[in-house]
Amino acid sequence: MVFTPEFQANPHPVYARLRAELPVHQVTLPGGMLAWLVTRYEDARLALTDPRFVKQGLTTPTGPNAEIAPDVLAAMSSHMLSSDPPDHTRLRRMVSAAFTHRRVEQLRPRVEEITAGLLDEMAGQDTVDLIDAFAFPLPIQVICELLGIPGADRESFRDWSNTIVAGVVAGEKLPIAFAALLGYLRELIADKRAHPAEDLISALIEVQEADGDRLTENELTSTVFLLLLAGHETTVNLLGNSVYLLLSERERWEKLRADAETLLPTAIEEFLRYESPVETATFRMAAEDITLSGVTIPAGDAVLVGLLAGNRDGGRFPEAGLLDMARTENPHLAFGHGIHYCLGAPLARLEARIALGGLLSRFPDLRLAVPASELEWRPGVLMRGLLALPVTGLTS
């Protein structure tokens, strides 16, 4: 069975068998839901762009969000990632200006400052959990500052976010987390209306299309939720997975340290491909019967696009099972593809370059504090990341 703890410890052999034998295969997900899992690169790329795979229509009583109250679900899922054109086009246009390469580059000094502060806090300690001490606080602080969310609330966000990303695996905690986060966001938005500031939430409240169109209340809470969740979850896993890959085979760390200026950009793309921080794209539904790799997915069925699986497809990537930090031709799917391509990809890449560069230069002797085999991976279907990453060698 896929998405069990045993599977998540090392999913790659299972994905390899599926790509070879059952590239489009119906699986039972945690919670009992059935979905078609797409594992080959070309099929995945097609499913991410084919308009017959739609986003709307999956929030039914038998869908993945069955336990969430309908009013809460509407207030948290009316965002661009759960929409199809023309709604998606309109919603993405309203927020895309905040994530242009130029705007992201303006964040560089602040990302460098936050990174330096976190490195200072870790320096000299015997052992730290790199997820707790570095991989989580960096992106959550950046996205909270961008949105205008008080720093004191970040730990609550982590609890809510981990629960929501785990999905049905979180059990009865899931609807509680959704409701708590929604309540917080509504209060925050009300405060921003009364006291607007130079932040993204205030800008979203004021944004208005040429025809006078604005974000509805549900669209506003949903968009802030999406930006908050996606704005840090992917980067937490990217940083954790990257350091895990570097330290689990020490020669990788030494090789990257020796030529970080040249290798770091391509290495980050390879980390994204090899141990993708998002394991599967969010659910889609077949709007009609669709055939992929000789398998017909019936209309109305749920579909999971395997980003991690597709990124290890030897039919697209030469020596796909080899981590090659100098790989230059690397059209991975870690940030998706098509109209739902991750809006925050430039920010995630910027944070990764600064963060990994800082670790490499500040802590040359960094190493795992436990055997790699003892590390545990996060539960759930969506994300691929470690629960904790104990490291030592924190002397500069």
pLDDT digits (tens, 9 = 90+) for 160-169: 988 888 888 8
CB 50 within 8 A of CB 297: no
CA separation for the pair 12, 311 (Å, rounded): 10
pLDDT of residue 201: 92
Both structure tokens of 92: 């993405």
pLDDT of residue 326: 97
Average pLDDT, the chain: 92
Name the amino acid, one letter, at 234: T
CB 16 within 8 A of CB 5: no
Under the banding of pLDDT at 50, 70 and 90, the label for residue 289 is very high
Closest by Cα among 282, 241, 284, 271 to 332:
271
Greatest alpha-carbon span in the chain: 59
Strands (E), the chain: 24-28, 34-38, 53-54, 127-129, 284-286, 290-292, 295-297, 302-305, 367-368, 390-392
Domain regions of the chain by residue span: 5-327+335-392
pLDDT of residue 59: 46
CA separation for the pair 279, 320 (Å, rounded): 16
pLDDT of residue 340: 95
**Phi-psi category of residue 393: left, alpha or beta, with phi > 0 → left and psi -120 to 50 → alpha:** left
Q: Is the predicted pLDDT of residue 65 greater than 90, yes or no?
A: no
pLDDT digits (tens, 9 = 90+) for 262-272: 999 999 999 99
- With 0-12 / 13-18 / 19 or more C-beta atoms within 10 angstroms meaning exposed / middle / buried, residue 137 is buried
CATH of domain 5-327+335-392: 1.10.630.10
pLDDT digits (tens, 9 = 90+) for 86-125: 999 999 988 887 777 888 889 999 999 999 999 999 999 9
Rounded mean pLDDT, 311-317: 97
CB 154 within 8 A of CB 144: yes
Cβ neighbour number for residue 26 with a 10 Å cutoff: 15
pLDDT of residue 63: 43
